Amino acid sequence: MLRDLGSRDVEFIQTVKYLRSQLLKVAGVTSINFTSIPVQGSGTYAVEAVFQSTVPRSGGKVLVLENGAYGKRMGKICSVLGIDHHLENFPEDDRVDSTKVEKILKADGAFTNVAIVHCETSSGVVNPVEEIGEMLRKYSPGASYFVDAMSSFGAIPLDFESSNIDYLVSSANKCLEGVPGFSFVIARLNHLLKCKGFSRSLSLDLVDQYENLEKTGQFRFTPPTHAMLAFKQALLEFEGEGGTVGRAKRYGDNHEVLREGMRSLGFRELLDDSHKGYIITSFHYPKDPNFNFEKFYEKLNEKDQVIYPGKVLNADCFRIGNIGQLYPADMKHLLGCIKEACQDMGISLPIKQ
């Protein structure tokens, strides 16, 4: 990031070309059927770009399957855009129920787009993306399938073809361990090219972005050059670690160290043992009169340990991420800091629930 390249510099154009091809490699797809489209801005920009660009202006209807804050955000995007949609709610501490989805698809054949979050970051639930995709192929073969894989891409294996995925979004700063600045869309080409003219936005028009990148190798508007240069290095490190398999192994190890350590301190997980996700782990607030999350967060922050600041679910719980440049030793250090923070707050350990 200490280098400065212009967005129209030959080296930068080659870097963008490399990033786009490597993202397809990470996704396990080829340029014959798919393309990758970087989008300036956070992951939500890419999510909105997919809705903006792929839902038909006339007759478009979206089924959003939500079981947490990020699924709800998809519904809000559709509302703000004036897109006809149905937001189907599921419990925030459980997976999207495929049986219920099957009934919805059988009853309503008008959906042109279906959207789901792969790993719901507000809780840690990993949804049955492949199972839902198979149902779409059976009951709504004409509908496109959109997966928000913001916090799972590059760490939880996902087969595009067997899952019937048409669009997947993620961002540079999650499991691929780049820095914030841009997000990206992996898009099925034959569907994307049918969407020309659908977009309600100029800057978030995925078809226009794709066509310009293919024609000139350049962005239509100023890209985050430094973040993209950093991402090139991040992808080299990702490959050096063994790709998705290697990263999943490390994150899974982090998760196991954390959950066992928290269990020994008396903390109770939000999700039961049937959930196998390892991206983020949620814990109920202790039922101790001395526990105050803001104070708990502050105590950890003073020890240079940063966890998610506050809850986004209805349940009173807090979240700890297992991803990024973290290793089991870091999780053990965090556990020691959590123990000290609890003792400083006068919380008896192990916590009695």
Q: What is the pLDDT of residues 273-325, one digit of tens each?
A: 999 899 999 999 999 999 999 999 999 999 999 999 877 778 899 999 999 99
Whole-prediction pTM: 0.96
pLDDT value of residue 313? 79
Per-residue b or e along 117-153, where b marks 16 or more CB atoms closer than 10 Å to that residue's CB: bbbbbbbbbbbbbbebbebbeebbeebbbbbbbbbbb
Residues 246, 239: Cα–Cα separation, whole Å: 9
Checking if the pLDDT of 41 tops 90, the result is yes
Residues 250, 75: Cα–Cα separation, whole Å: 33
pLDDT value of residue 314? 82
Residues 59, 69: Cα–Cα separation, whole Å: 27
Checking if the pLDDT of 32 tops 90, the result is yes
pLDDT value of residue 309? 83
**3-state SS assignment for residue 249:** helix
